A and B are shown apart, each in its own frame.
Chain A
Amino acid sequence: MRTLVAIVVAQALGLSVMAAPAVYAADQQDSAKIAELKKQLADLTEELEDLTTRVSKNERHSATDRIVLSGDFRVKAHSLHYQNVTWNPAIAVNFSDFGMRAMAGEYGNPMDANSPLGKMMTANPDLAMAFQSGMLQGVMPYVLANPETQDIDNDLLYTTRLRLNLKAKVWDNVDFAGRLSMYKNWGDSTGVQVFDSWRSFSMDGTNSGNTSGDWLRVERAYFDWRDIGGSPFYLSIGRRPSTYGPPSQYRENELRGGTPSGHLVNFNFDGLTLGYKLGELLDVEGMVVRFCYGQGFESQWGNGELFGDTVTKDTHLGGFNIDVINDGNHFLQLTLFGAKDINDGFKGTIAFPNQLASIFAPTMYQDLQKFDSFNFVTRVQPSGVIGDMYLGGIGYAYESDDEQKFFASFGWTQTNGNGNAGMFGGMLSDAVFTAELNADGTEIIMSPATADDDSSHNGYGVYVGMQIPAPYGKVGLEYNYGSKYWTPFTQAQDDPIGSKLATRGHVVEGYYIFDVNPKMFIKLAGLYYDYDYTGSGTPVGAPQKVSDVIAGRAYSLLPVVDKAYDVNASLTVNF
């Protein structure tokens, strides 16, 4: 037994002696590993501390940075060409009324050269002759200037548009959205244009689509309050997202840019939307019913004369805007709304054209001639209510899985004139002028008395188009037509010749979009306008056949364009 123990001890000792270097090496390795791990841990701790500091900074930043800013920037070069631009101004005068008043002596003694009538006869001998020989009876045009027709080429017009989108999460179910935009033509920040058409009017509803200088204007500012009380209702109030609505977003190469149909409305409105996500109830994707209300004109505040001498009325709009389906492939929208108490214009600013001064303000024109390149800038306001309007439309767009897009939209407008008229006319009617004495009884002036027509007029418009993938981008083709009385609210569409969708006539557009990268694209486009009737984009004034104006059979206080084309190239950067 002793021997056995001895052997075991000896073996153990022997073994341990033999194993000693190995154990020593293992210890050494472990210590090295531990040291290494300690170092790694220290590094990691250091890294973690650094990360914690950086994450805390980010956390603090994101918690305090309450607005998300994004935007887009577009530079565009246009070549604009207008054909048969005709100016043939005249006003319709009630000569029978004039004769009656003249006979009653209201305008003074015709034999006295210093009487108002005598002065008028001396200034207009041909007119006096025609009147005396009985050629002027009833309501007839009083021609104001010799007709002029010319072609106009604006070979290069550059514009820059900057839009900054603001988004803020107010609460779990409340968001704020805003858009600040600047849209200018190069080298001009006056904010006003010479009033040669309704397009060139600087005013609230169209400032975002009309070049108005280097000012950043609030195009949109509203909140969305969703799932009110857990229901599918939502409420949104403010300056509305009412521009670039469907299907006009395809040509803009952007997502749906506004709520209402872009074929009927492309106009900045202040108002509210009460919506109901009916799709959640009926299981139809994207189905939303909206009631929209807005005010397009404020008649009293800041308006009228010194003592609130207001003759206009507030313009209120209301109606329904229904997305029947919006599932990414199919989009069907119904729109119906009315505008009550439309006035013969808006509040806005214009640079007064000197040619109109020579006709309507001869005394002032005497002085203005000394400054023939000066235009006085003036704030204008409408002169009265001319009637009500209704607008309706149905639009459908199909987007295939491989990005082929097709759309068709039909629009209807109805105007109900009330017989009133301002200088440029009544609701789709012309003004009939009456001769009156001015305030001190020294001069006869012509004042718009009534509209020549107070009947209702229906207009309609169609808009069809497609966009299909092409090498490095997409190509698109669009066509739209508007009838004689077609009067949509699309004046903020930023086509320099005028909103193409408001055209009373035909417009064809073809374009190619080159997608430089997902955030940048180049668009090359050509638009051809063929106007059938005058007054596109305004409910004021009777539409005249353009060919009649050119032939001298019809008249217009503002120049009339026959055909026009716009070739343009743009580069847009989204950020």
Chain B
Amino acid sequence: MMKTKLQLGVVLLAALFAVGATAAEGGNPKKGKHLYKKECKVCHSKSDAAGEITPMSKTMAQWDRFFDKDKHGAKPEVFEKLSEQDIKDIQQFLYDHAVDSAQPQTCG
């Protein structure tokens, strides 16, 4: 009985903390932006052979799939050298600025 109560408490707490959940739990999009520039743009800028990648290259769901399943499958060592937190930060940044995310309402 005690155990059930404890479990219930944990579930409630988890539900409470799930409020504000984003793509990668605990990802910091601002840090992700710096990391994206440092780690991703070296190979994925406009005229690179690997092809240009911007946050708008994928939808939010596609970015999540890329990070959860693909894990940079074409060159897995790229992700292996990054810390788990760094990857979360990059994922959050890309998710926040994906093609179907909210964009600034300006004319450029």
Contact = CB atoms under 8 A, between A and B. Distances in A.
Interface residues of B, number: 17
A191 to B, nearest CB: 25
A518 B22 contact: yes
Contact of A401 (B19, B30, B103): B30
A329 B22 CA distance: 20
A472 B105 contact: no
A256 interface: yes
Contacts of B106: 241, 256, 258-259
Interface string B76-108: 000000000000000000000000101111111
Contacts of A70: 102
A254 B106 CA distance: 13
Contacts of A259: 106-107
B105 A401 contact: no
Nearest to B22: A518
A275 interface: yes
B6 interface: no
B54 interface: no
A241 B105 contact: yes
Nearest to B89: A401
Given A70-B102, A328-B33, A399-B30, A241 B20 contact: no
A236 B20 contact: no
A403 B28 CA distance: 9
B108 A226 contact: yes
Given A255-B103, A259-B107, A401 B20 contact: no
A257 B34 CA distance: 24
A255 B108 contact: no
Contacts of A220: 105
Max count, chain B CB within 10 A of own CB: residue among A240, A275, A277, A401: A401
B4 to A, nearest CB: 27
Contacts of A304: none
B28 A255 contact: no
B28 A402 contact: yes
A399 B96 CA distance: 16
Contact of A234 (B33, B105, B108): B108
A472 B107 contact: no
B13 interface: no
Given A328-B33, A574-B102, A515 B19 contact: yes
A472 B19 contact: yes
A329 B30 contact: yes
Contact of B108 (A224, A515, A517): A224
Contacts of B100: 68
A222 B28 contact: no
Contacts of A515: 19-20
Interface in A235-279: 236, 240-241, 244, 254-259, 273, 275, 277
A402 B34 CA distance: 13
A270 to B, nearest CB: 13
Given A254-B102, A518-B20, A518-B21, A241 B107 contact: yes
Interface in A169-210: 177, 179
A32 interface: no
A244 B100 CA distance: 21
B24 to A, nearest CB: 12
Interface string B20-50: 1110000010110110000000000000000
Contacts of B102: 70, 254-255, 574
A517 B21 contact: yes
B107 A273 contact: yes
B105 A517 contact: no
A527 interface: no
Contact of B107 (A240, A255, A328): A240
Interface of B: 19-22, 28, 30-31, 33-34, 100, 102-108
Sorted nearest first, the 10 A-B pairs with minimum C-beta distance are: A236-B107, A256-B104, A401-B30, A259-B106, A515-B20, A255-B104, A257-B105, A401-B31, A234-B108, A273-B107
Given A177-B107, A257-B104, A515-B19, 19 more contacts: A68-B100, A70-B102, A179-B105, A234-B107, A236-B107, A241-B105, A255-B103, A255-B105, A256-B106, A288-B108, A400-B30, A401-B28, A401-B34, A403-B30, A472-B20, A473-B20, A517-B19, A517-B21, A518-B21
